Amino acid sequence: MTAQVIDGKAFAAKVRAQVAEHVDRLKADHGITPGLAVVLVGEDPASEVYVAHKHKATVEVGMASFEHKLPTDTPEEELFALIDQLNADPAVHGILCQFPVPDHLDERRTVARIDPAKDVDGLSVTNAGLLATGGKALVSCTPLGCLMLLRDQLDTLSGLNAVVIGRSNLFGKPMAQLLLQQNCTVTIAHSRSQDLPGICRGADILVAAVGRAEMVKGDWVKPGAAVIDVGITRTEHPEKPGKTRLVGDVDFDSASEVAGAITPVPGGVGPMTIACLLANTLTACCRAHGLEEPEGLTA
């Protein structure tokens, strides 16, 4: 068996096109433009690149983009004052603070300051609680993207056995909750799990998110399973001395001989993250104005 490779880049482009179409309708029918505010504290080069990508993507779908760049030594009270201002601004429907922040700032306190209705990263305790209890949460972007890929790939998720390797608040826990909402039977595996390969072999859906390069081997995968690889690690290239390559948590070559479908790294889950950030901003905007939420772009 050779797995179907799930093209996350193409699917993300489809999601962005759906968002852009809905944004056009909001402007034409209601005079509303969804707005996303991104706050960057400090001068981390990687963060600056991410913020630039988010700005570009936001503008391309017709949304308003508000960038706020603060010095590295910005005191907490100044950051919080800006967040309070954005919370109160009706033109801003989504707020994202780019992490990591400088050491003197606390990420949890920063997330808690953002209005949960504008928390398009889905990181707040309120949104986590809403997700866990079946409420209308804004869901963390990467798990939401994985769910979209699975729903597109599989006829139904209901009744399937799903294994999520990883229990982080950012991904593992919300991913498990999303799969549970789809009526999957869900197992969360982690570093203390006994017989991890055996647990994985029972999965119709296997989601790996631990950050260990090529840890999941082909003989861990149930024949025909859908494999979602969230990990990304830069390693030495085996055939090009001095060069590096990006790999995931799954040994793609061996797993793709067994799985029914699999995401590659790069080009799988990664492109979905910004697409789902835009989808979340659109959803937050619709909720703020009491309008129908975009079909297919929410959990």
Active site residues: 54, 98, 121
Scored b (16 or more CB within 10 A) or e, 254-292 reads bbbebbbbbbbbebbbbbbbbbbbbbbbbbbbbbbeeee
Tell me the chain's radius of gyration from C-alpha atoms. Answer: 19
Is 212 marked as a binding-site residue? no
Can you list the alpha helix ranges (DSSP code H) found in the chain? Answer: 8-30, 45-60, 76-88, 107-113, 125-132, 141-153, 172-181, 196-201, 252-255, 270-288
Is 167 marked as a binding-site residue? yes
Structure tokens that stand for 273 in this block: 């993250």
Is 166 marked as a binding-site residue? yes
Is 168 marked as a binding-site residue? yes
Distances (CA, A) of 19 to 121, 149, 252: 17, 16, 31
Contact 209, 188 (CB under 8 A): no
Using CB atoms within 10 A of its CB, is residue 159 exposed (0-12), middle (13-18) or buried (19+)?
exposed
H or E segment to which residue 208 belongs? strand 205-208
Would you list which residues are annotated within the binding site for NADP(+)? Answer: 166-168, 232
Would you list which residues are annotated within the binding site? Answer: 166-168, 232
